Amino acid sequence: MASPLEPDFRPMPPRLYRALVRLVLVAAILIAALLTYAFWPTTPHVEDLPDGGARYAVRILRDEWGVPHIFGQTDVDVAFGLAYAHAEDDFITIQQSIIAARGELARVYGRNAAANDYLVHLLRLHETMERHAETRLSPTMRAMLQAYADGLTHYAAQHPDEVLLDDIFPLTANDILAPSLHKAPLFFGLDDTLTDLLDPNRGQDATPTPLANRFDPLGIGTPLAGSNAIAVSPRRSANGETFLLVNSHQPWEGPVAWYEAHVHSEEGLDMVGATWPGVPVIIHGHNRALGWAFTVNKPNVVDVYRLEINPDNPNQYWFDGEWRDFEVDEARLRVKLLGRIEWTFTREVLWSVHGPALRTPTGTYAVRYAGMDEVGYYEQLYRMNKARTFEEWLDAMRYRALAMFNTVYADQEGNIFYLYNARVPVRSPEFDWQGDLPGTTSAALWTQEVPFEALPQVLNPASGFVQSTNATPFRTTVGDDNPSPDAYDATWGIETRMTNRAYRALELFGGDSSITADEFYAYKYDMAYSTQSAVARTIARVLANPPDDPEIQEALDLLASWDLQATPENRGAALVVLWLQPFGERLLEEEIPDEELHAHLLDAVRFLRAHYDRLDPRWEEVNHLKRGDLDIGLGGAPDVLHAVYSKPAEDGHLHGRAGDSYILIATWEQDGALHSQSIHQYGAATSRPESPHYADQALLFVRRQMKPVWMDEAEIREHLERAYQP
């Protein structure tokens, strides 16, 4: 007799056994079919994609650096060629930008991208385009958008293996326009606002949100991000020249990384400079007569309203004495689960009289921001590209699609100009515009903007130069021509802070009354911290009140002897950057507690000892530019004029990831003759490791050297790599 603890191995009835086998086989077949479907490679139906190449009269000339020079019969032809050339160098990022603005990024990258897709629905980007594109955009711009879309579709048809989502092709004009609506509000801080609203501890503490946890779909959240734009007029140049520096600090990769191009048409378009993936015009640079550069400013153009919800109806809010209905919609978010397998999730989308609204753990809020109905970003840039005089260019700026950006201008006539560009609302003085606003009254609901002429601006100052380095506009230059802070409403949120780059620009350009071309170049690549800078002041604070910790005594001695330089050979820069870079913009805007400073200094000490067995390695031993097989030491540092923002890597190095990227210096001689030079941190082939132009400019970049810019076709052909038609 079997023990009750022994298993019973009585045979299974044959019929049940056969049924179980069949069930297992069917399940296996279904799983195999599912996996086959999920991972079977797909290609777009290229036979269905239109061959747009024959419709556009355009040639692409690649110079010896791989930079595309687009020559078209019309401006529309040029847009087609620019799209095709950029796709040759970075099709994946262009697609990512377009897919993100369509609200379909989660179809490619899964649930982590769903927040982006929800944002597209929340902000009603596509509804805005449908309402305003026809009336706000010129027929030429609408045609250029479609031509750019056709250029990408043409490339996709020829390279189906590079396509991320086959069903988005053929692209439309709105597919090209949408990324401008998607990116614009994130530059002036809407991401910060949304991050704050969704914080369950909102209002309960002042702990900064860690950078890694911020809503940052553009990847622009570098610590202490910044830019340089500087113009010098004949009043201050040694030989009557006019100089312009175009030097925006961007991520080195991603949807807002710079791409260099030259566009030329028989209709008067002739512009060199840089643009972003998916943008059909040059964003900043110069034509033969004039040029400009953008830097980021921080006007207060976003407001938050606390809504009072009807206790009997959660879809109503109180406004001007009555309950109003939310406009309630549903965002359908398609999310990749496995291979090609998707699942559609739905989320509520609310809209109030103020703008988009969110139910959050701490209440229901609405957000209102400048340019909520704006679609004309590319229209304004196009008009700036086409301008040939200061008056024409200023008229393009008065179009006012751009809700922000400091802008520095220079031209062949010797004019220089600075503008604190901002679509600042006209606000009632009875409310605190730095905090949450009452969503119950129209008295707090602004509907007008400050006139263009009322913005801070400086035209042809007696000092002969203007600079914009993400600091206050009230110290744009030296002398008496700066805007006065007393002339501007505090609700505009105009910055009063000074960056190190602002201090150094004023010291260098303001201290030299006869600037040569070589000096202008050298000042741009300055790697020093001013004695007035937040870095210098922080070091002085710590040395005045040093922590009682023998582990960092050597570090304190090194700080005391440091010369405030971040040159490649410097032996104090590594300690300082590792110590202070994590604080980012807090360093400029608040006094960081001693305890935090001491703790971060100890972290830097331990990092250097672990990886270098010393506290004073040469800066270029630590700070590197890494690109493919190239791995080379690099100078520059956060918030110096030669700005480099780096991230620690597993090998103990810091790898550059943002800062100086595309740099352009334009010079108009006294007789109006133009010559310019540029450099890119990597090269023209942004995402093509197999290309000779993937990293061919990197060594020049590290050495702080630049290459010539060619605009005449004959000169381009002297340095021609290849010429072709798409």
**What confidence score (pLDDT) does residue 547 get?**
92
- Looking at 192-206, 448-462, 567-581, which range is the least confident one? 192-206
Q: What is the mean pLDDT of residues 299-308?
A: 97
Do residues 346 and 333 make contact, with C-beta atoms less than 8 angstroms apart? yes
Please say if the pLDDT value at position 210 is more than 50. no
Residue 302 assigned to a binding site: yes
> For residue 655, how many other CB atoms are within 10 A of its CB?
17
pLDDT band at 191 (very low <50, low <70, confident <90, very high): confident
What is the distance between the alpha carbons of residues 368 and 425, in angstroms, rounded to a whole number? 10
Provide the residue ranges of all domains of the chain, joining segments of one domain with +: 252-299+378-519
Which residue of the set 227, 463, 530, 533 is catalytic?
A: 227
Give percent of the chain with pLDDT exceeding 90.
86
Please say if the pLDDT value at position 74 is more than 60. yes
Residue 191 assigned to a binding site: no
pLDDT band at 37 (very low <50, low <70, confident <90, very high): very low
The string of pLDDT tens digits covering residues 121-152 is 999 999 999 999 999 999 999 999 999 999 99
Please say if the pLDDT value at position 222 is more than 60. no
33 Cβ contact list (under 8 Å, min separation 6): none
- Looking at 212-226, 500-514, 572-586, which range is the least confident one? 212-226
pLDDT band at 726 (very low <50, low <70, confident <90, very high): very high
pLDDT band at 365 (very low <50, low <70, confident <90, very high): very high
**What confidence score (pLDDT) does residue 18 get?**
62
The string of pLDDT tens digits covering residues 144-163 is 999 999 999 999 999 999 99
Please say if the pLDDT value at position 244 is more than 60. yes
pLDDT band at 47 (very low <50, low <70, confident <90, very high): low
Q: What is the mean pLDDT of residues 596-609?
A: 97
718 Cβ contact list (under 8 Å, min separation 6): none
Please say if the pLDDT value at position 459 is more than 50. yes
CATH 3.40.50.720 for domain 252-299+378-519: no
What is the distance between the alpha carbons of residues 61 and 713, in angstroms, rounded to a whole number? 9
Q: What is the mean pLDDT of residues 554-566?
A: 98
SS (H, E, C) 490-512: HHHCCCCCCCHHHHHHHHHHHCC
Give the DSSP H/E element, type plus range, for residue 333: strand 327-338
Q: What is the mean pLDDT of residues 279-306?
A: 98
Q: What is the mean pLDDT of residues 643-667?
A: 96
- Token look-up 């269905």 returns 48
pLDDT band at 189 (very low <50, low <70, confident <90, very high): confident
Q: CA-CA distances (angstroms) from residue 71 to 15, 23, 75, 277?
A: 77, 65, 9, 19
The string of pLDDT tens digits covering residues 494-505 is 999 999 999 999
Please say if the pLDDT value at position 48 is more than 80. no
State the distance between the two ends of the chain, measured CA to CA, in whole angstroms: 86
* β pairing state of 309-310 and 313-319: antiparallel
Residue 481 assigned to a binding site: yes
pLDDT band at 113 (very low <50, low <70, confident <90, very high): very high
pLDDT band at 441 (very low <50, low <70, confident <90, very high): very high
227 noted as active-site residue = yes
pTM of this structure = 0.92
**What confidence score (pLDDT) does residue 447 get?**
96
